[in-house]
Amino acid sequence: MDWTGTILIVLLFILAIMFLLKKERSWKPSCPNLPPGPRTIPILGNLHMMDLKRPYKTMIELSKKYGPVFCLRLGFQEMVVLTGYETVKEALVNQADAFAERASVPVFRDVSKGFGIIFSHGENWKVMRRFTLSTLRNYGMGKRTIEDKIIEECNVLTKAIKANAGNPFDVQRVITAAVSNIIVSILLGKRYDYEDPTFLRLLEIITENIHLSGTPNILLYNIFPMLGFLLGARKKVTNNRKEFHDFLQTTFIEYVKNLDENDPRNFIDSFLIQQREENKKMANGYFHNENLKAVSSNLFAAGTETTGSTLRWAILLMMKYPEIQSKVQEEIAKEIGVRQPRIEDRSKMPYTDAVIHEIQRFADIIPTNLPHATTKDITFKGFFIPKGMQIVPLLSSVLHDESQWEKPYQFYPEHFLDSEGKFVKRDAFMPFSAGRRICAGETLAKMELFLFFTSLLQKFTFQPPPGISKNDLNLMPALGFTTPPISYKTCATPCS
């Protein structure tokens, strides 16, 4: 056996540990007036006390001891964790500018290279966000044109589900593909068949990278990036990124061949037209291909994963609580009947609207939120937080805040209903985050959730497979950066 590779890895690991020990001796807190937090130990900081699979659970527990604003140190990475509705709102909404930066996290830095929207910084982020919001609206976000596309996709999805003839099947593939086709129609001006191998591979890449980004392996890489060569998950994430970007690059080349500046067909066309305009005015602008690939990746992933996972939670919860499913179906039958649901129906369907909101709250899809950073030195809640500090505005603590929700850890649609059964907006409902970095696709996601959910429950009753009772259904979320449900099978019985 050739031991050369093994010996080299061991030597590199020893050198890395020596480097960390040296760094530990020279490390000092960035500011003596930071918020309180648990005692640290050499090299690890507070890593030893974290639930590496679900770090947000540890953070919620720590907040009970140290308060709604506290410090953590993971390795040499300091961060301030914000918990509870009032605290997160004060930071992201009332002091939005001070908390508007995105923290630099190694795995996200590897994926984005500082480009795009979600993980970019400074002026690049501002320019890309403005362009994206404007262009999404131009292609129908929040308007009848995109509603019609969603309705078309609802019809394709219901046919795909009906083809299972009431037999048990896993909803993940068809739900994810249906939702993804909406953002694909905006980006590429087309839709994919649910069996298309290219489409399935793209969806696999997205799902895998989002899952890996929340695993202990990647958490360790983010804390000790110099050890990345030992961690296979990091290599897998970067390889997936390259494969996805190669697909996009090929797509761009094809689109440039037939680009008509007077008749843009999709988001990519609009970007390429803006690129040509910018090139006439300046040499080094923002509308270059690296930003185009990053923005397209951001939209593809965000427009697929969160809404798709929420709808999978919706079907699971309807199986778990058949009495709630029945009440939704009764309201659909009363207000819509057999015609196609439209977004305008939502205002007269308070119970269905409440159930959808409660699904989002209960699912808690992005529990830790995406990490923020401060744009300047700031005094917050009596504590000094320096510029550039990583901030974790814990969305899970907002969606489960006991001061805001009557039954925070139960599925309870009445959270969004008053005593007369009318829908009630709740300020602590923040599944899309808040402030400057709020999800750019919030309007689109809300439209998709209502139309897909009502269309599905209008046509099907979802039940557990034979031999499985509703009490056997597992509501523990899967591991990952987002929290989709664990894979399950359902039987979709057509409504009479």
Query: What's the CA gap between 252 and 260, in Å, rounded?
Result: 14
Query: What's the CA gap between 428 and 232, in Å, rounded?
Result: 38
Query: What's the CA gap between 295 and 128, in Å, rounded?
Result: 8
CB 142 within 8 A of CB 447: yes
Q: Are strands 378-380 and 372-373 parallel, antiparallel or unpaired?
A: unpaired
Phi-psi region of 166 (alpha: psi -120 to 50; beta: other; left: phi over 0): left
- C-alpha R_g of the chain: 24
Residue 41 phi/psi, 5° resolution?
A: -120, 160
Query: What's the CA gap between 196 and 3, in Å, rounded?
Result: 44
Query: What's the CA gap between 82 and 123, in Å, rounded?
Result: 26
**Cα pseudo-dihedral 271, 272, 278, 283, rounded to 10:** 120
CB 81 within 8 A of CB 59: yes
Residues in the chain: 496
Nearest by Cα to 451 from 182, 203, 263: 182
Query: What's the CA gap between 248 and 294, in Å, rounded?
Result: 10
Phi-psi region of 51 (alpha: psi -120 to 50; beta: other; left: phi over 0): beta
Residue 394: strand pairing partners:
none
- Annotation-wise, does 71 bind a ligand? no
Phi-psi region of 273 (alpha: psi -120 to 50; beta: other; left: phi over 0): alpha
Sheet harboring 169-170: ordered strands across?
Answer: 169-170, 489-494, 460-463
Query: What's the CA gap between 124 and 121, in Å, rounded?
Result: 6
- Report the binding-site residues: 439
Binding site, annotated residues for heme:
439
